[in-house]
Chain A
Amino acid sequence: MVTITVNNLNFSYQSTRILHDLTFEIKSGGITCLVGPNGSGKTTLIRCIDTILRPIGTILIDGRNIHDMGRRAVAEMIGYVPQTGARIAAATVFDVVMMGRTPHMGWRSTDEDLRYVEEAIRLLNIEELVDREYNELSGGQQQRVLIARAIAQNPRVLLLDEPTNSLDIHHQLEALSTIQRLSKETGITVIMAVHDLTIAARYADHLMMLKDGRIVGIGEPEDLITEERIREVYQVESRIFMDPEAGLIVTPLRPVAGLIP
């Protein structure tokens, strides 16, 4: 398990400020869901933690500043599942999952590399796809392949950007339960940007709500997801139910009056 400490994190694209002075700590593994409207900075924050972007401020993992670490050392520790859409030329599903071993692997793949790849493929239930060309898959299938790639990377921190937005409900449940089980069994720390508040409430151990690059709140999903806060953050009237099995369910009703003419 690792502790992620973020201090005074700021990020701007050219002159547009995206993240405003974020300071927070994520402890003890589990799943942390990032929620917030479009443009609230969820993806930017995830890309800062993966050191793809160079922010101002510090991100420490177990006390080490990750922006001082080499690319490969970061990749050994942090796995990233981007949003789908990019094509990958001339690669089978197996090849793509195998890419996850890049930071660990030399020119030849070892039996251990192959074992991780095999395990990830089984966890995401994509055995039937292994020999298919990645570009020929549907968006949902590609999403599962990308999750498998990050799992094959065997990271201690797993970052996911909208990992379920092209999955049907069956595969949503399957992928998220796999991630949840993985985080419980291996102690891996998961940070996941999610749009669906019901999903966030159901799978998050901790929730962070962002708006306009600032933290609106951090805490337990039940404390944070309220009808008032959804109105404030999303400008949407909603109703929240408790289901004995599924937990908290958010039903959006309508935009706050006055927003739509």
Chain B
Amino acid sequence: MEQSRILDGYLQRTRSRILILFALALLLLLLTGVAATLGSYPISVLEVYATIFAGPGAGSEAGTIVWDYRLPRILMGILTGAALGLAGAVMQGILRNPLASPFTLGIASAASFGASLAIILGAGFVAGGYLIAANAFIFTLLAAALVYGLAQVRGITPETMIMAGIAIMYLFSALTSFLQYIGTSEDVHAVVFWMFGSLGRATWDTVTIAFLICALTFPIFIFYARSINALAAGDETAASLGVAVERVRLIGMGGASLLTAGVICFTGTIGFIGLVAPHITRMIIGGDNRFLLPGTALMGAIILLAADSIGRMIMAPMILPVGIMTAFLGVPFFLYLFLRRRRDYW
């Protein structure tokens, strides 16, 4: 019958989208087990799951290694990948731009500047161990606020936001270069290493903070998924469909900035994931943000964790920073999907 045929495609797509989400979650779970076996102390995958289910402080040597050393790094990888992927998908949605990423608004260069300020001048907002992270976090949000303020002068549209973001990005890049110019070579090396992005600095404390920020922002994005869907048809159409366009854009941008700041302040700037994880997921799962957003979070986590694991193995015992590995791993996959696909998806 014609009637049911119309809905059939949609219902079937919805079912397979849910299935894909479950498959991605399962893959992430498996990957977590495998990633925790990597390192000089030999542990099997099954032992990993056993120690995880046994809980922390079970006393075994394997338990100590998994809980104290490997899990923080892995969880930080998952949170960072999920946050950057999700922030990227939201930015692409609210800016209606396939080239948007969490770093489009100059956020990465602001974070780098904040970190440089702490490393080179020792100046910052919080003294002690969190100096670098706090600086990176605060300058990231400062950059986002600046972009918003500048864009607001001419009305918050994708164009004004991207223009303001480019200006802010160059401003903070210049400031960072200036600091590097006056810094000692050891400091500059530390800044460059920070900018590679690495999970090596993860602790349970930083994991907890990053987790809280993710837990705060994820539900907001999922709530606005329908509104972001309507934005794809243009501001006027979305407004005409009852969407408070400027509010959704402000919340999307603010949330994506907070999410990005909350992870990269601990890891350094990790590029690529926020740009490409949304595209890969969109090609697999489609453009409906109700599925795209959680899917991208899972995909980002998978890519980052896989990249970090390979970065730890490929030149072991030397560990390659994950920021370098993400692109090496993701580009071929992205190009494969992109070149193979015939449909005009963006």
A interface, CB within 8 angstroms of B:
47, 50-52, 71-76, 78-80, 82, 86, 88-92, 94-96, 98-100, 102-103, 105, 107, 114, 117-118, 121-122, 127, 130-131, 133, 135-136, 153
Contacts and interface: CB of A to CB of B under 8 A. Distances in A.
A136 B341 CA distance: 14
A100 B346 CA distance: 20
- Counting chain A CB atoms within 10 Å of each CB, the highest count among B10, B287, B345 belongs to B10
B333 to A, nearest CB: 19
B346 A89 contact: yes
Given A95-B287, A117-B6, 9 more contacts: A52-B239, A73-B242, A75-B241, A86-B237, A90-B346, A95-B229, A105-B226, A133-B343, A136-B343
Contact of A71 (B96, B243, B282, B346): B243
Nearest to A118: B6
Interface of B: 2-3, 5-7, 9-10, 13, 96, 98, 222-223, 225-227, 229-230, 232-234, 236-237, 239-244, 282, 286-288, 290, 343-346
Given A82-B237, A89-B96, A118 B290 contact: no
A50 B240 contact: yes
User: 7 tightest A-B contacts by CB?
Assistant: A90-B287, A75-B242, A103-B242, A72-B242, A102-B241, A80-B240, A131-B9
25 contacts: A47-B236, A50-B240, A71-B243, A71-B244, A72-B242, A75-B240, A75-B242, A86-B233, A86-B237, A88-B233, A88-B234, A89-B345, A90-B232, A90-B345, A90-B346, A94-B9, A99-B229, A99-B230, A102-B229, A102-B242, A122-B3, A130-B6, A130-B10, A135-B344, A153-B241
Contact of A122 (B6, B9, B240): B6
A127 B2 contact: yes
Contacts of A89: 96, 98, 232, 287, 345-346
Contacts of B239: 51-52, 71
Nearest to A79: B240
A78 B237 CA distance: 12
B242 A99 contact: no
Contacts of A71: 239, 242-244
A107 B223 contact: yes
- Counting chain B CB atoms within 10 Å of each CB, the highest count among A50, A72, A95, A103 belongs to A95
Contacts of A153: 241
A95 B6 CA distance: 12
Nearest to B239: A52
A89 B98 CA distance: 9
Contact of B287 (A73, A91, A114, A127): A91
Contacts of B98: 89
Given A133-B344, A135-B344, A102 B9 contact: no
Contact of B232 (A75, A88, A121, A127): A88
Contacts of A96: 233
B233 A99 contact: yes
A117 B243 CA distance: 19
Contacts of A79: 240
A74 B236 CA distance: 13
B290 A107 contact: yes
Contacts of A130: 6, 9-10
A71 B235 CA distance: 13
B6 A127 contact: yes
A133 B345 contact: yes
- Counting chain A CB atoms within 10 Å of each CB, the highest count among B232, B236, B243, B288 belongs to B232
A114 B7 contact: yes
B240 A121 contact: no
A92 to B, nearest CB: 8
B241 to A, nearest CB: 4
Nearest to B285: A90
A95 B288 contact: yes
Contacts of B243: 71, 102
A127 B290 CA distance: 24
Contacts of A95: 229, 286-288
Contact of A52 (B230, B240, B282): B240
B344 A94 contact: no
Contacts of A80: 237, 240
A136 B232 CA distance: 15
A127 B223 CA distance: 30
A129 to B, nearest CB: 10
A79 B242 CA distance: 10
A36 B236 CA distance: 23
Contacts of B343: 133, 136
Given A71-B239, A136-B344, A122 B232 contact: no
